[in-house]
């Protein structure tokens, strides 16, 4: 499996946020995106997820253009934003039912992604009473309902306690080992450690960078975050 992101452009008013952003990714690996706060990392992920439309560019999966095949994009791509977009008044189980039919939900809880994420531990708890780590696992579980091959993650372990962080990172690692492709917008060294390739977003453009430089980038060169 190969992803090819080419020449993505996006403008908001007079501000050109993305200028020909391009990168490649392969199944079985994670790609890390780093850059200053406001550099456009979240915008790029939202475009790839189909939440925003680009002004220019293409997103191909094994040669097939996904921007013009919205149904295929929604099947193949899962998006986990920085926040936790859940219905707070509903239980974890009822949030999942918004995404899964009953049979698929029970199967996933038994031996699928929801079992891997440990979502069964808090099924009957209202979403607004879950810890941050539980909410993040639930959001990932909802996003994976259609068994996508591509996982987009925007700072997935930000503000999580060490145990919750380890569980989320372990899931992402296994997802890639099973052939999935992950794209992670991050400034976290442990998240970067999952990645095979890295790209720095600056002035709307992506350029490759050596993952071994990740800590240096984050430690004060002015290009992390």
Kindly list the averaged pLDDT for each block of 10 residues, start to end, along the chain of length 225: 96 95 95 91 97 97 96 96 94 98 97 95 97 96 96 95 94 97 94 94 90 57 39
The answer to whether residue 114 is domain-embedded is: no
For the chain, the domain total comes to 1
CATH of the domain at 190: 3.40.50.300
Q: Give the domain range for residue 211.
A: 2-84+149-218
By the 8 A CB rule, do 40 and 219 touch? no
The answer to whether residue 131 is domain-embedded is: no
The answer to whether residue 192 is domain-embedded is: yes
The answer to whether residue 70 is domain-embedded is: yes
pLDDT at 225: 36
The answer to whether residue 18 is domain-embedded is: yes
């Amino acid at each position: 499996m190969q992803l090819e992101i080419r020449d993505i452009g996006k403008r908001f008013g007079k501000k050109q946020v993305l200028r020909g952003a391009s990168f490649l990714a392969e199944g079985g690996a994670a790609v890390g995106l780093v850059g200053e706060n406001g550099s456009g990392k979240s915008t790029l992920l939202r475009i790839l997820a189909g939440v925003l439309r680009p002004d220019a560019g293409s997103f191909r999966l094994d040669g097939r253009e996904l921007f013009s095949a919205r149904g295929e994009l929604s099947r193949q791509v899962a998006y986990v934003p920085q926040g936790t977009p859940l219905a707070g008044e509903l239980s974890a189980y009822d949030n999942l039912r918004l995404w899964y039919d009953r049979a698929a939900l029970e199967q996933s809880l038994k031996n699928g992604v929801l079992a891997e994420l440990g979502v069964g531990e808090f099924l009957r708890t209202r979403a607004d009473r879950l810890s941050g780590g539980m909410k993040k696992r639930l959001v990932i579980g909802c996003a994976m309902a259609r068994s996508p091959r591509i996982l987009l993650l925007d700072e997935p372990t930000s503000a999580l306690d060490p145990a919750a962080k380890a569980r989320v990172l372990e899931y992402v690692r296994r997802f890639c080992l099973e052939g999935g492709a992950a794209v992670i917008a991050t400034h976290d060294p442990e998240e970067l450690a999952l990645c095979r390739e890295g790209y720095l977003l600056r002035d709307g453009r992506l350029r490759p960078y050596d993952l071994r430089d990740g800590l240096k980038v984050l430690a004060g060169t002015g290009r992390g975050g």
